A and B are shown apart, each in its own frame.
Chain A
């Protein structure tokens, strides 16, 4: 019961079902992948888990406690952090300011949030970027800063929304190593939403596949790799990921 759990979660927008009775669980220290073609409902599920979107039916539980009715910053204070597609850093602020404002928002003193921000940048290996203006960072550095910002306050669960988008193979491999450290060294439960299926297959302990708002497959990477339903979901859609990517060994 110490996990983050979506229990039969449904979301409807003006009668259109974006999610339909979705179950998902992320345990501390584990990495769970969430994949599916474009429009499958992955980001909607992340929004529900982090308080950005209310579930029409079902419940979101963290360590057995319902998160219903909590605002995003209240969910964040409970220990569930997320990143966004595209990073969404404060582009006019320096890198360290971006991390520091998160600590301040979590109720830390300014001195404590500066100290944690410096330690976090060091831990990720980007301490040299501290004084840089976030808007001038290269794409991959921006993603790493976004992850650092999400890790401020030592959340118990981290939801990464397409962190490898636009990265080269080497950059994606470096990101994989970082995500492993987050789960292994911090004991943080990670939910990885990613179009790079090779990355997800190589990194995750457990994978949930969504299609048209419903879970079509769930299990360890080898089950997902062998699943006809998953192949069909990707082949039958106009997704930018085709079947051969599934077969790439991570």
Chain B
């Protein structure tokens, strides 16, 4: 049972990250490699700038019902700002140029944090009540893991409802499939793209809260590993497919957790190599990803 919760919890993180990347890829064909740095920025936004080893908590002391919206708003705000200041200039650029711009933006955010906080990881205590274990079917599971899984499921259900049942969601789905045509029909392109960035940034904020609570540290590189796995999940899921990104995120979490258990102790240090090996195998057999966006399939 513990393994199942570990897998679901890790998969949740990857799924949330993959969703954030896939949302922006859908409307802009941009793989936003700054996403990981937005995650780190959200954690550091809870601290006062300081190069001391001990974090000086600022918004991190807020009660949960203020802390959560604050962090999501920071992520959404930074993401929207990055669209307005950087990516809007690259709308007509080819995907490779946009990707390089996203790397550059990521470095700018990372080194901005480095200037204010130094590269030393800082210990923080976010939502400490969540480290309490709860007993589920005889297994003692940290409450944070349960909440991570529930929050992810709620986000997925909420996002699906948003995309299916709201006017904005309809515009976003149309723009994700054929941005030019959507624009020709009068869909407000700027609003749709900004909305996608805001949602993606809010998802980065959610990951920041989960990671900060799980690890108890703030580290300027903390978003990088999630970003890498999330990117791989969007590729495996089929670029442009939100459902594929989520499924692949959970699958990666499951594979990583299971390998941690089944690999011989000497090989566990190389777990990620085995995970990436599995990724290569999947892509050899399904290079278009698990769920290729429907528009890219050949018509029968």
Chain A interfacial positions (CB closer than 8 Å to B): 52, 72-73, 76-77, 88, 90-93, 97, 100-102, 104-107, 109-110, 133, 135-136
Contact = CB atoms under 8 A, between A and B. Distances in A.
A73 B294 contact: no
B167 A73 contact: no
A105 B185 contact: yes
B295 A135 contact: yes
Interface stretch (B95-103, B147-155, B176-184): B176-184
A104 B181 contact: no
Given A101-B174, A135-B299, A107 B294 contact: no
Q: Which 8 A-B pairs give the minimum distances between C-beta atoms? A: A105-B186, A105-B185, A73-B186, A110-B167, A92-B294, A101-B174, A72-B184, A91-B295
Given A91-B294, A91-B295, A97-B170, A106 B177 contact: no
B177 A91 contact: yes
A73 B174 contact: no
B170 A88 contact: no
B167 A104 contact: yes
B293 interface: yes
B296 to A, nearest CB: 9
A107 B171 CA distance: 12
Interface residues of B, number: 21
Contacts of A93: 170, 173-174, 177
B89 interface: no
30 contacts: A52-B184, A72-B183, A73-B185, A73-B186, A76-B184, A76-B185, A76-B186, A90-B174, A90-B178, A91-B177, A92-B295, A93-B174, A97-B170, A97-B173, A101-B170, A101-B182, A101-B187, A102-B185, A102-B186, A104-B171, A104-B186, A104-B187, A105-B182, A105-B186, A105-B187, A106-B186, A107-B186, A110-B166, A110-B167, A110-B170
Contacts of A92: 173, 176-177, 293-295
Contacts of A76: 184-186
Nearest to A75: B184
Given A73-B186, A104-B187, A90 B177 contact: yes
B92 interface: no
Given A77-B186, A88-B181, 7 more contacts: A76-B184, A90-B177, A90-B178, A90-B182, A93-B174, A107-B186, A109-B167
A27 B294 CA distance: 40
A133 B294 contact: yes
Contacts of B181: 88, 90
Chief secondary structure at chain A's binding surface: helix
A217 B167 CA distance: 47
Residue from B167, B176, B181, B182 having most chain A Cβ neighbours under 10 A: B167
A142 to B, nearest CB: 9
A111 to B, nearest CB: 10
B170 A100 contact: yes
B293 to A, nearest CB: 7
Contacts of B174: 90, 93, 97, 101
Contacts of B171: 101, 104-105
Contacts of A136: 299
Contact of A104 (B170, B183, B293): B170
Interface string B282-297: 0000000000011101
A180 to B, nearest CB: 26
Contacts of B185: 73, 76, 101-102, 105-106
B64 to A, nearest CB: 34
A115 B180 CA distance: 25
Interface string B30-65: 000000000000000000000000000000000000
A73 B295 contact: no
Contacts of A97: 170, 173-174
B237 to A, nearest CB: 15
B184 A73 contact: yes
Given A101-B171, A110-B167, A110-B170, A73 B183 contact: yes
A121 B187 CA distance: 21
A93 B187 CA distance: 15
Residue from B183, B185, B187, B297 having most chain A Cβ neighbours under 10 A: B185
Contacts of B293: 92
Contacts of A91: 177, 294-295
A73 B188 CA distance: 10
